[in-house]
Structure 1
Amino acid sequence: MSNDLDARRAAHVALSAMRRGRTLDVALNVDGLETRDRAFARNLVATTMRRLGQIDDAIVRYVEHGVRPEAAQDLLRLGAAQLLFLQTPAHAAVDTSVRLAERLNLTKQKGLINAVLRRIGEARDAILADQDAARLNTPPWLWKSWVAAYGDADARAIAEANLTEAPLDITLKPGLDRDEWATKLEATKLDTGSLRRDVTGDVRALPGFDDGLWWVQDAAAALPATLFGDVRGKRVADLCAAPGGKTAQLAAAGANVTALDKMAPRLARVRANLDRLGLNAELVEADARSWRSSEKFDAILLDAPCTATGAIRRNPDVLTAKNPRMVAELTRQQDALIDAAVVQLVRGGTLIYCVCSLQPEEGEQRIESALQRHPGLDRRPIRAAEIGGWHELLDRHGQIRSTPAKLRFIGGLDGFFVARLALA
């Protein structure tokens, strides 16, 4: 099979897997693809998921009730993504889609696939001009929740920001020269200390990766671990630690870190990242809601499981994988995790709570609830000077609320909520 079909077939398999709840990285974990083909497949699948509302709107203009089986519908989606958004020549997008239909035993659907894609290609500009991209690509429940939380204008700005791929942010190990590594990595320096590359790609091929001198971590995700202040020699717990970026920050800063995760494969990923970086932490496979240490901690970082609606730019599968029922279940977990963290914190200790979610139910409302349940718990407001002067990320309580629509002049950030609490 030619390489162009290899990549598109891998994309087809991945798209099907993502509709069943797999993440993009897991779905594209395919052996045998060359680097260029893997990059194309990833871009094709990510674009299809990110623009799925527009793509399905284009298809339904020519096939009123969609196409069956689902494999044929996915093939149409991938073809339409190439025609509408990837500037693939029309003949190539149509021809490879038809050829792949043969490979996938979808011979009966070949004629329909060919006809629909040709019509989409011919009407491309008119279709795009007629579409409201922000609304079409945002599930109604998410749109409604963002309008309620942020207002119409900001909700639209968030939805529009989610249509673009996020840049690649890098955290350097302490002591390295930022100017030197910004040059080596062809990156810009952010005010918070992260380095940012506009071009993504295979990070393993970049200078310093094999030497363990840095790790990939969104600039917003890198903020929580810095808010403890000096952690040298302190006992710090990183609950729900995978994939380990925050564990690495704390260990590199000199903390005695205990990192928990309840899933062995995720904990193995933390270990692999620490090994590459030459850092140490005690790793514990356990559910943080029920696990108890024999000795309390000076500081606890709780990056709680969440809907990840703040990371749609990186993980477009969130758009189809998450639903409002999950919010209710996750908030119960988040409350239980906060309660478990509080009882393991020394008096005067600091708890950092964060989620990569734009949903207030998982952020601001969880803190209000925690303060009511734990009278000894108080906010410790975060200052703009602690986050590179980015005062626009702070709410009236001194909590971080970033969205992909903020700081667009530097390429935006993932949507994060961060609160700093202390136990009196």
Structure 2
Amino acid sequence: MTNKKIQFGIILHGPGGHMNAWRSNEVPSDASTNFNHYLKITKKAENAGFSFVFVADGLYINEKSIPHFLSRFEPLTVLSALAPLTKNIGLVGTISTSYSEPYTVARQLASIDKISRGRAGWNVVTSPLEGSADNYSKDKHPEHSLRYDIAEEHLQVVQGLWDSWEDDAFVRDARNNQYFDKNKMHELNYKGEFFNVKGPLNIDRSEQGQPIIFQAGASKKGSGFAAKYADAVFTHGGTLEQAKDSYKALKEKVREAGRDENSVKVFPALSPIVGATHEQVQERYKEIQNLVTIDQALDYLGRYFDHHDFSQYDLDAPFPELGDVGKNSFQSTTDAIKQDAKENNWTLREVALRETTRETPFMGTYEEVADTLIEWIDNEAADGFVMTSHVLGSVYDDFINKVVPILVEKGYYDISYNGETLRDELGLPFKENRYSLS
């Protein structure tokens, strides 16, 4: 037995993580803009004791984008709507540091944190899609390294603004006509290369002090950024050995950054395909595979490479040599795709179909998947998992109803929450105000 509770998050990708999940008869075809669907999935997760829901985002589309990305909710709007309808589950949203103003971001997230009484989180991204620049009056998309330099300043400003007010600054003493203690209000006066922000922020702190910082950068600069600033990190997962290596490397970087390694939680991606029997698992996998055509798979693959046109190549020839294509987009993902294709001598067809419906270590019977999750936790490959369910339908329900009870029985899960805030739930301390500490 163990007292270690596995932490689960769930990505609200509308119909699911598969590019053609909208075609499944298990979800509404308009799931990406169907609030009742989002609420239903969130309530199931909360009733099962999941730590957080997570809404991803993108700032550029074209006719080859994932279909349900063509019309989907903006993260903070849907999280704001979910906040008063939930009680315990964390609410995490993606916001780009390359295409947003720190003061606005600080206000938005602080507002959700206050509405939810300390359950907000920010997935800090730099935006990989080059076309985003055309939607924000920018001459060009910043190159990869520069985007992280901007992100570092952006985050410093936001976190500085979140400390504008000490926790007891608003006395609201009507009898003595004193609304706040002016000695506990602080201007930031940040002057950097990219941002100059005076402050203070016009909203006070929440029950958890500051929202949780999530990050998913897997490149060298991205993982360095995560080690320095993140409270929780999303990783690709891969095999158990790959996950162990990634976990160990990140924890080492956290220590090198002068932080306690336990202060950063690691959440590999979890795309389970479960069933009562191996035959049912294979049937479900084939159902998901059959949602996509080869032409759609090529478009999906092209998105990682800044919408590169893969239709120009021979489908059954070895994966093409692409040089630096993808370097300024989803860098770590495109590097991994190129490397895997080369090492396994995969054709373009094989790569495209694998990317749309990846096989994962979490395919198997309910008992097998529960044991695999436990193995990853016991072998320090993860602190928890973020579910990227292919389709938010029967497999998601079966995971909650069949796999979770096995984890509870084996002492690796508890559907109750660790406290009232997201920091409580993740075992992270209250974020003290920098001025209170000085």
Tell me the TM-score normalised to structure 2 length.
0.24
Q: Which has the higher contact order (CA 8 A, sep 6+)?
A: 2
**Structure with the bigger percentage of helix:** 1
